[in-house]
């Protein structure tokens, strides 16, 4: 599939079929159980298995590794449709692909790909990516987790925070960024030798690797998120992922692609709020008339639709440039910024349209209101996106 020469926002037939299929699955399978999963903070194992059977986890991966042979735009379309009704399910897919499996595809050895990708692409296994620490994330120089090479094994010590898909029953490994030495001849902002940061694959059953208690989050309650601890966790030397010393640089390239996927997810959340408000405004009456007939309500929903539409165009363009092999870092940042704010703004307005019903946790708009805030924080905050955009403008 290719979008390199199509006119936005019309979808080619294969993309449209995928989008329609996932939309139907989201409406008929995911939506009916979403409130219960959210209330119980339960991970959606059955839904993950069904998405695996549909091939959603394998969408952007080559067939030789069990994938569907598609591309990142196909994944983005699936994420948009899922996020309309359940952001927790959507982020489980997004993180499983872009943060769990994609680093293996892009930087792994042939042996690593053959070992890990088939089960990840089938949705039978999940993986996480451990970057954020108590005092480090965007600031790579503050990374404290270390990996020392000793007699053919890496000794990993440290801690990670807010790691998605890291503690499920089907999590097979977490790839962690760790300080593996110093960069000769280069100093950091503090004047000390710059840290050499690499990425190490740590299987879930590694002695010394423990998964902390799941976070009690504001939203994304059905998504799996944990702190991680490493105390003399020993893994083979061949568990180095990619070139030693390029771990953070490699992750930044993964993050650029991931921002397109997150933008698609946020667009779905924004559109989900619109769809819910349209249906509610037509059936809810006040003073003898549907509230959809009141200009204050209809204009609010119209503005919500404008935000969702702009977000969709932004991530479409970013995906188009990425798949055409053109620079897309700025477009990805723009898409992440626009869509994240659209999701949060639409969730707030949807809650207003629904009134008291929008303040009840089991309602879709209440979940979107709680869920959407993280879209302005995760995978690069709004401020980081503004910094990237301003830098591109020469500011």
Entry pTM: 0.94
User: Quick one: fold of 249-392?
Assistant: Butyryl-CoA Dehydrogenase, subunit A; domain 3 (1.20.140)
Q: What is the pLDDT of residue 9?
A: 62
Q: What does each of the 395 residues of the chain score in pLDDT, given as a tens digit?
A: 444 444 456 788 999 999 999 999 999 999 999 999 999 999 999 999 999 999 999 999 999 999 999 999 999 999 999 999 999 999 999 999 999 999 999 999 999 999 999 999 999 999 999 999 988 776 767 899 999 999 999 999 999 999 999 999 999 999 999 999 988 767 766 667 788 999 999 999 999 999 999 999 999 999 999 999 999 999 999 999 999 999 988 888 888 899 999 999 999 999 999 999 999 999 999 999 999 999 999 999 999 999 999 999 999 999 999 999 999 999 999 999 999 999 999 999 999 999 999 999 999 999 999 999 999 998 889 999 999 999 999 99
Q: State residue 182's pLDDT score.
A: 86
For residue 110, what are its two tokens?
A: 């042939």
Tens digits of residue pLDDT in 106-165: 999 999 999 999 999 999 999 999 999 988 776 767 899 999 999 999 999 999 999 999
Q: Give strand pairing partners of 234.
A: 155
Nearest CA among 205, 344, 319, 193 for reference residue 267: 344
Segments making up each domain of the chain, as ranges: 13-125, 127-246, 249-392
The dotted CATH code for 13-125 is 1.10.540.10
**Catalytic entry in 196, 257, 341, 379:** 379
How far apart, in whole angstroms, are the C-alpha atoms of residue 65 and residue 226?
28
151: number of Cβ within 10 Å: 7
pLDDT at 190: 64
The pLDDT assigned to 379 comes to: 85
Find all residues with CB under 8 Å of 184, minimum gap 6, and list them. Answer: 193
Residue 1: predicted pLDDT: 45
pLDDT, residue 179, reads 96
Predicted local confidence at residue 139, as pLDDT: 74
Distance linking the first and last C-alpha atoms of the chain:
37
User: Is 196 an active-site residue?
Assistant: no
Distance (Å, whole) CA 137 – CA 143: 8
Fold of 127-246: Butyryl-CoA Dehydrogenase, subunit A; domain 2 (2.40.110)
Report how far residue 394's alpha carbon sits from residue 264's, in angstroms, rounded to the nearest whole number: 27
CA separation for the pair 132, 176 (Å, rounded) = 9
């Amino acid at each position: 599939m290719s979008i390199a020469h199509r006119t936005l926002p019309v979808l080619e037939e294969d993309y449209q079929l995928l989008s329609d299929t996932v939309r139907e699955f989201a409406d008929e399978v995911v939506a009916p159980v979403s409130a219960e999963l959210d209330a119980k903070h339960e991970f959606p194992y059955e839904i993950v298995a069904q998405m695996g059977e549909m091939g959603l986890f394998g969408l952007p991966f080559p067939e030789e590794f069990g994938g569907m042979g598609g591309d990142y735009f196909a994944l983005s379309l699936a994420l948009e449709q899922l996020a309309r009704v359940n952001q927790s399910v959507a982020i489980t897919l997004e993180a499983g692909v872009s943060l769990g499996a994609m680093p293996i595809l892009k930087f792994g050895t042939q042996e690593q790909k053959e070992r890990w990708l088939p089960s990840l692409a089938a949705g039978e296994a999940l993986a996480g990516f451990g970057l954020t620490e108590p005092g480090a994330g965007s600031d790579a120089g503050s990374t404290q987790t270390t990996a020392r090479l000793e007699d053919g094994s890496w000794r990993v010590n440290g801690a990670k925070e807010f790691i998605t898909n890291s503690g499920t029953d089907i999590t097979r490994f977490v790839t962690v960024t760790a300080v593996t030495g110093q960069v000769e001849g280069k100093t950091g902002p503090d004047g000390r030798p710059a840290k050499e940061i690499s990425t190490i694959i740590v299987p879930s059953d590694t002695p010394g690797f423990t998964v902390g208690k799941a976070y009690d989050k504001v939203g994304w309650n059905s998504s799996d998120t944990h702190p991680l601890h490493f105390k003399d966790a020993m893994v083979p030397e061949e568990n180095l992922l990619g070139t030693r010393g390029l771990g953070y640089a490699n992750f930044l390239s993964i993050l650029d692609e991931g921002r397109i996927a997150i933008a698609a997810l946020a667009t779905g959340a924004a559109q989900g709020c619109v769809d819910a408000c349209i249906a509610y405004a037509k059936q809810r009456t006040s003073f003898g008339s549907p509230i959809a007939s009141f200009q204050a309500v209809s204009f609010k929903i119209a503005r919500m639709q404008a935000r969702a539409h702009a977000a969709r165009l932004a991530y479409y363009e970013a995906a188009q440039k990425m798949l055409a092999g053109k620079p897309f870092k700025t477009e990805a940042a723009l898409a992440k910024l626009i869509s994240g704010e659209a999701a949060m703004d639409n969730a707030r307005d949807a809650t207003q349209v629904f009134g008291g019903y929008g303040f009840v946790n089991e309602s879709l708009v209440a979940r979107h209101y709680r869920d959407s805030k993280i879209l302005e924080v995760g995978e690069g905050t709004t401020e980081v996106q503004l910094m990237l955009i301003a830098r591109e403008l020469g500011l």
